[in-house]
Amino acid sequence: MAGLLDKRLWIVSGKGGVGKSTIAAALALASARAGRKTLVCEVNTQERVSRFLERPAAGPEVTLLEDNLWAVDVRPQEAMREYGLMVLRFEALYKTVFENRLVRYFLRFIPSLQELVLLGKIMFHLQEKGPDGRPRFDTIVMDAPATGHAISFLSVPQVLVQTVPPGPMSREAQKMRDLLVDPAVTAMVLVALPEEMPVNEALELHAALRDKVNIRTHSAVLNQAFPERFTEADLEALLGHPELHAVAKAHHDRAAQAVLAGTKLERNLHAPLFTVPRLFTPEFGRDAIEQVMGHLEPMVTGET
Amino acid sequence: MSTTALASALAGKRVLICVGSGGVGKTTAAASLALRAAVDGRTSLVCTIDPAKRLANSLGLTGLGNTETQVPATALEPLGIKARAPLYAMMLDMKQTWDDLITRVAPPDQRERILSNRFYQSLSTALAGSQEYISMEKLWELRRRNSHELIVLDTPPTAHALDFLDAPNRVLDFLDNEAAKWLLAPALKAGKLGMSLFNRSGYVMRALAKFTGTEMLQELSNFMLAISSMNEGFRERARGVRELLEDPSTGFVLVTSPHPERMDEAIHFHTLLKQHRMGVVALVVNRVHPMPPEALWEDAATLTPTRRAKVEETLRELQVLAEQDGAGITQLQAACPGVPIIQVPRFEMDVHDITALWRTSRYLLGDESLS
């Protein structure tokens, strides 16, 4: 398997609540540690990645968190402004047009424009060059929206290419689509928990991205898995201690559920699966992210 | 036996709306509440969005469309009890609800034009807040029909809490084409976009067109024209929705899980609901890890060393989880003073069958509690 380090755009998605931001933060940290200039992009969220890494929130400007690691919260209004300036070239003209109340009203309702500018900003950073002419960032980690929103978000370029008449919007969309579907550039990482709905949503997301957008899944993460601990013999021996038996049985069942979820994901995704065990730390901060990073090492390097 | 704020809400309210972030168990909470109300004697409807297949199956909902269906008595058999009033359930199909709405309010000669317009497609499927709007709209319609004593609404997983409360305004904004008329006036008159440089709106339009392409604007103006006759109808309905949300017989149930991120979102949501003067009946914290009783440690000490080590490690882990959850709940209570917090423990397996719904409802109603 080619590791994530062979790709430049790492997209992390899955059902809400599965720990996308945790995984995105761990992957970004791994990339930075490998010496890659890394930008982690959150899409209009509450900026969890910087919080997990115990750094001040990045906000809408690209901000250096630590060695090789930058973060940005991509927000619609700022992204729209940047895009508007790119198209119109002059600040004064931008102000006349885009800060017109009526125009703002229109911009809100142009189908998919908001998604287009959000994605557009991320794609811009992917192609951005530093003063030396080399890419400003080696790796872009996108903490993408949850399943339903992710499908519409990542399909936007494809949909626009198909439906919008030739023009600036469709040209932008075409460029973005080409990067998104290029497996040499983009790696899609799906995150799930060992529970029914998160696994199903990961599979749905996988199928939708493959069929609608032609993005293939690079790998999957089974997060918060309980490792196997109690054998059948253990459970039997505990029968005389009903309450302890219940504790052991619950653990055993959760571990079994993780194995089942893992098998289901592997069978249906045809992509390598990496398991991150449930962590038991009182505070979920940097230490926890570093532990998660350890478990994702083979996924990043491609060495198993 | 204690009773909770939800017990009196279940007996008195006409509408309960379960809100919260994705993946916290809103659907389960909504289904449990409706089930319990029906068992206790009120005709209830649970209106869900995208439920887990097994949950749908356990309510007898397989393959049903956008209409309410009575949950068969056989579905309740595993509980060994009979509901004293009928329980209905439905899965809300967003696109279908939008299309039905247009079919109902649009003049016949405009229907097809609207349904096939790209802006309508975007409004009905992609526009932020549109799912939230249409579920509110459906709720209003169901409530007006007045055929259920209690309606419990599950809501779409909301990425941004504001979408939910703003949805009626936002969609109204879209449909209210006063601004659009002014901007598009030259285009509408000429049948194409006005391009005069001397005309202010022409100038703005040209710059906009540079951004979107002219055909896009043309299509938008077509859509505006097509729906202009329906505005008053929409506005009236949106007013109805707002009144319903503020009505004292409507209550919000804020659902969260004890995860710190989800708690932050719940606090944020609570603040917004308060700002909008909407009543929060209770905060439900789902999947709480209870603290393992002290006695278990003594019991574990009697085991063989290997088993003892395994059990103690498990107990230590459970302790950490229980402490995390407890600390989160304390913070939550401090951030939302005066709102009753109801804890539901994490069950061993996914909550999808009717027995698990019933168990959930026992905690929601205070028959059992985590102390």
Instruction: Name which of A102, A113, A143, A281 to mutate to probe chain B: the one with the most chain B Cβ atoms within 10 A of its Cβ.
Output: A102
Instruction: Name which of A155, A205, A280, A284 to mutate to probe chain B: the one with the most chain B Cβ atoms within 10 A of its Cβ.
Output: A280
Number of C-alpha atoms within 13 angstroms, CB side, residue B53?
8
For helices A101-109 and B200-212, give the axis angle rounded to 10 degrees: 30
Find the mean pLDDT for residues A172-185. Answer: 92
- Per-residue pLDDT at B175: 62
Find the mean pLDDT for residues B301-312. Answer: 96
In this model, does residue A47 exceed pLDDT 70?
Answer: yes
From A8-12, A148-152, B148-152, the region with the lowest mean pLDDT: A148-152
Q: Is the pTM of this model over 0.95?
A: no
Find the mean pLDDT for residues A35-45. Answer: 92
Count CB pairs under 8 A between chains A and B: 161
* SS3 state at B334: helix
- Cβ-contact A17, A48 below 8 angstroms: no
* A178 — pLDDT class (breaks 50, 70, 90): very high
Find the mean pLDDT for residues A81-87. Answer: 74
- Per-residue pLDDT at B161: 56
Query: In this complex, do A114 and B22 lie within 8 Å of one another by their Cβ atoms?
Result: no
Find the mean pLDDT for residues B322-350. Answer: 90
* B354 — pLDDT class (breaks 50, 70, 90): confident
Q: Give ipTM to 2 decimals.
A: 0.85
- Per-residue pLDDT at B201: 56
* B160 — pLDDT class (breaks 50, 70, 90): low
- Per-residue pLDDT at B116: 84
User: Which residues from B are below 8 Å from A164, CB to CB?
Assistant: 213, 216
Distance of alpha carbon B133 from alpha carbon B232, whole angstroms: 17
In this model, does residue A189 exceed pLDDT 90?
Answer: yes
Residue of A nearest to B211 (CA): A168
Query: In this complex, do A280 and B179 lie within 8 Å of one another by their Cβ atoms?
Result: no
Instruction: Name which of A23, A197, A230 to mutate to probe chain B: the one with the most chain B Cβ atoms within 10 A of its Cβ.
Output: A197
Of A100, A110, A280, the CB nearest to B204: A100
User: Which residues from B are below 8 Å from A165, CB to CB?
Assistant: 213, 215-216
User: Which residues from A are below 8 Å from B324, CB to CB?
Assistant: 282
Q: Which residue has the higher pLDDT, A287 or A85?
A: A287
pLDDT per position as a tens digit, B188-219: 454 444 443 334 556 666 666 766 667 777 77
Of B216, B300, B310, the CB nearest to A110: B216
- Cβ-contact B122, A112 below 8 angstroms: yes
Find the mean pLDDT for residues A227-251. Answer: 95
Q: What percentage of chain B carries pLDDT values higher than 70?
A: 75
Q: What are the CA-CA distances from residue B314 to residues A249, A253, A280, B280, B307 (Å)?
A: 11, 13, 10, 37, 11
Of A109, A165, A169, the CB nearest to B127: A109
- Per-residue pLDDT at B54: 65
Find the mean pLDDT for residues B80-108. Answer: 88
Find the mean pLDDT for residues A157-186. Answer: 84
With residue B43 as reference, give the H or E element that holds it: none
From A14-18, B63-67, B233-237, the region with the lowest mean pLDDT: B63-67
From A71-80, A247-256, B260-269, the region with the lowest mean pLDDT: B260-269
- Per-residue pLDDT at B127: 59
pLDDT per position as a tens digit, B231-287: 777 778 878 888 888 899 999 999 999 887 788 888 988 998 888 888 899 999 999
- Per-residue pLDDT at B121: 76
